[in-house]
Structure 1
């Protein structure tokens, strides 16, 4: 990442005036400030951060936390109440669905109008129009009024324009949640290309996996306050812990996250997590799994309990021996215990294997949704066991553990622990597999020229 700053936000605040009735709004205008007829709502308060040129930063937070307001302020569609924003480079933004489009104009006319707003001349837009049209894939609707478009068609066209104007800064507000999976994958592929080309990207998403996969850093907003800034994996963990917290403990968790905030300047690279000491005399290829007592997770995040407590998560061989240095291709048992502090219904247990960056590789639930254990008594202790095949290539991985049940009328986590168990997959001789997961791919080839001659 370049040390150049593309976006700099200093003590940014935004206050909206909330009126109970239209009459109050009128009275405020007539009184010219001599009396107040509104309530103040601070959507953002004293937010500060920097985004380096070429960096991708994600923003997470509950609905109403100020994410969209922050993006609109950076784009200039809102004026701040206080603070300062500096941006360096052409900005292309996908904010509210279809914002900037005239519903009476055709898609073609809106492309030219939108591109002009973003700084392209008519000739420049004409030169790129075929590429915009091809990416949007809306066919003959390009010449139909936008008011006839579905939400998916509208975002396809808006995204196609935004990524074809050579913007140095791309800002996206949850827009990629719209559309089918194939189009979303196409969008993310283009975002990857823009990243490699050095574009600065700032986007909002409720998908923790997306933030972890695509972002260099992340920001957690809550109730207009910047609670934390740092590595995506850490920020997503804090965000999930906050949203799943019981209401009576949420403020305490907010304070804990706020105190623990350690901002990383945009000019400094994010350090790679050192999960455990390097194994000494057994780190080479081996044909036997074993247990290393030094291999312990340093990034465990425990959610608040709402009636259950997970305990003693460990990996065992099929013969019942503890192990955390595993052999690819073998099967293992992941076990943990669950203590129930109160009675629960529709109980299910789960596991998830993740990379050290937080990307979810796969896991399982003990039963399908709605088909859990009908009733568990208070004080009951249950032992949970998942058998899994280790089809992972050499590397370090995390395991999660979770238990869900009915809380009121909704299924929710009774307890959940992220990164609770750490394990390594040991190197193996003559391994030709690449990537994270071993799909047992086998290469076969023949001499095509010789076969034809025969």
Structure 2
């Protein structure tokens, strides 16, 4: 790959913090080791090392959108700060190509005594805009923030929502070549969030490179070309967003004594390009190129070769999901479905330990991992199974109407319960089953979901 195609290159990046248990240890560290060296003794350190990042390397191509996901303390924010230049690495290098706009700590550069208007000009200057450029953008910034007359009031009078809306509006109107975002996609109400997503989509469509951190797997899947999984300062894997998010969730819900084994498994898969390749769909999505007459003959059936190879299994907490199947109402097993018909998704859960507050669930997703919908066996813990005895087995069934347009979709299965006082997955299988919705020449619906839209046309007489 040509260096001209690279927007961000991170090479062997590491960041170490020195942790002092007591304030006086910091003073000791500045004096005593020097004296010990002078007298020829081995110097003693009065700090502990904490490595926020260890030898992280990756490249982001121009025009690419890459998401970073990981547990708290995995080094995500530290990585973004170093890329933006607000933090110095201990070792390693970062190269960027293009104008950067960063949404890290929204409004961190605002002066509370200044008005919103004054802060717009000050923040814009920090982001590299001239006064003339800010003048040209000011109306758009004010309209995007939508805080009305408060734009001319001191920022100290703002609510927290108004504060972040204005900060986001400033940063998002810089027209960056590289946009770096750290968990800033959940500001404001639903309408403002949609406006933020729309603006980011426009920036992406204009060819900008986007690198952002999120704990939302669905956001990573929807927005990104690739994703990076960070854990304990290490880049565990980089590849297809759907698979990266699945491994993140598996690690997140794993028992503490199994986490290192799971980390090793993810590393090995990444080294052998199982995650970064396209194996998620190869060999399992035969295309239909039949004529319209042939398509009318297509009917629901079971294809033994239509199997997911992207299945991810969570560590068990005393429950095991088995035998997932899609059935017709008459009990026939199928995975080629017909739009508009009702089907039964079933699986069995075998319990090897006593469990409490048990609930079951299912989820339907697209190939890219967008969560379309699903169901649970109980809305709340009070409606769940209060107690399940070890040795018990439950057959779970969810009926669903296939309101999806032709395409291939994936199914999850999960069971949750009480583990050490907190609700968590007793077992979960991601992409455990898949199905195809058959082509329909009479179908007028567009998109993914069939909402039953029917056109009506009426010729209007000329006036």
Fold similarity call, TM over 0.5 = yes
SS state of the match for residue 362, structure 1? strand
Aligned-pair distance for 1:429? Answer: 2.1
Distance verdict in 2 for CA 1:403–1:212, change over 3 Å: same
Looking at structure 2, the residues matched to 192 and 280 of structure 1 have their Cα atoms a distance apart, in angstroms, of: 32
State the Cα deviation string for residues 245-271 of structure 1 (Å, max 9, x = none). Answer: 01110110011111111498xxx9978
Aligned-pair distance for 1:206? Answer: 0.4
For residues 302-341 of structure 1, what are the structure 2 equivalents within 5 Å? 302-341=313-352
Looking at structure 2, the residues matched to 311 and 182 of structure 1 have their Cα atoms a distance apart, in angstroms, of: 42
Q: Structure 1 regions of 5+ residues with no counterpart?
A: none
Aligned residue number for residue 232 of structure 1: 241
Looking at structure 1, the residues matched to 262 and 441 of structure 2 have their Cα atoms a distance apart, in angstroms, of: 47
Looking at structure 1, the residues matched to 378 and 97 of structure 2 have their Cα atoms a distance apart, in angstroms, of: 51
User: Which deviates more from structure 2 when the two are superposed, residues 160-169 or residues 75-84?
Assistant: 160-169
Aligned-pair distance for 1:182? Answer: 1.1
Aligned residue number for residue 139 of structure 1: 148
Looking at structure 2, the residues matched to 143 and 105 of structure 1 have their Cα atoms a distance apart, in angstroms, of: 9
Aligned residue number for residue 179 of structure 1: 188
The question of whether the paired residues in 2 share the 8 Å contact of 1:13 and 1:44 is answered with yes
Aligned residue number for residue 41 of structure 1: 50
SS state of the match for residue 178, structure 1? coil
Is 2:289 the partner of 1:273?
no
Looking at structure 2, the residues matched to 277 and 138 of structure 1 have their Cα atoms a distance apart, in angstroms, of: 49
SS state of the match for residue 57, structure 2? strand
Aligned residue number for residue 399 of structure 2: 387
Is 2:104 the partner of 1:92?
no
SS state of the match for residue 69, structure 1? helix
For residues 54-65 of structure 1, what are the structure 2 equivalents within 5 Å? 54-65=63-74
Task: Using structure 2 for the length normalisation, give the TM-score.
Answer: 0.93
Aligned residue number for residue 246 of structure 1: 255
Aligned-pair distance for 1:193? Answer: 0.5
Distance verdict in 2 for CA 1:74–1:132, change over 3 Å: same
Aligned residue number for residue 362 of structure 1: 373
State the Cα deviation string for residues 385-438 of structure 1 (Å, max 9, x = none). Answer: 110000111000001000111112111110000000110000112211100110
The question of whether the paired residues in 2 share the 8 Å contact of 1:170 and 1:202 is answered with yes
SS state of the match for residue 209, structure 1? helix
Looking at structure 2, the residues matched to 281 and 73 of structure 1 have their Cα atoms a distance apart, in angstroms, of: 50
User: Which deviates more from structure 2 when the two are superposed, residues 106-115 or residues 165-174?
Assistant: 106-115
The question of whether the paired residues in 2 share the 8 Å contact of 1:275 and 1:297 is answered with no
Is 2:425 the partner of 1:413?
yes
The question of whether the paired residues in 2 share the 8 Å contact of 1:228 and 1:263 is answered with no
Aligned-pair distance for 1:31? Answer: 4.5
The question of whether the paired residues in 2 share the 8 Å contact of 1:350 and 1:402 is answered with yes
SS state of the match for residue 295, structure 2? coil
Aligned residue number for residue 19 of structure 2: 18
User: Which deviates more from structure 2 when the two are superposed, residues 57-66 or residues 176-185?
Assistant: 176-185
State the Cα deviation string for residues 293-331 of structure 1 (Å, max 9, x = none). Answer: 111111000111001000000000001101000000100
Aligned residue number for residue 215 of structure 1: 224
Equivalent position to 2:358, from 347, 351, 365: 347
The question of whether the paired residues in 2 share the 8 Å contact of 1:351 and 1:365 is answered with yes
The question of whether the paired residues in 1 share the 8 Å contact of 2:239 and 2:277 is answered with no
State the superposition RMSD in angstroms. 2.1
Aligned residue number for residue 52 of structure 1: 61
SS state of the match for residue 406, structure 1? strand
SS state of the match for residue 71, structure 2? coil
Equivalent residues, number: 448
The question of whether the paired residues in 1 share the 8 Å contact of 2:237 and 2:267 is answered with yes
Looking at structure 2, the residues matched to 6 and 110 of structure 1 have their Cα atoms a distance apart, in angstroms, of: 30
The question of whether the paired residues in 2 share the 8 Å contact of 1:286 and 1:427 is answered with no
The question of whether the paired residues in 2 share the 8 Å contact of 1:349 and 1:402 is answered with yes
Is 2:454 the partner of 1:442?
yes
Task: Using structure 1 for the length normalisation, give the TM-score.
Answer: 0.94
Is 2:265 the partner of 1:256?
yes
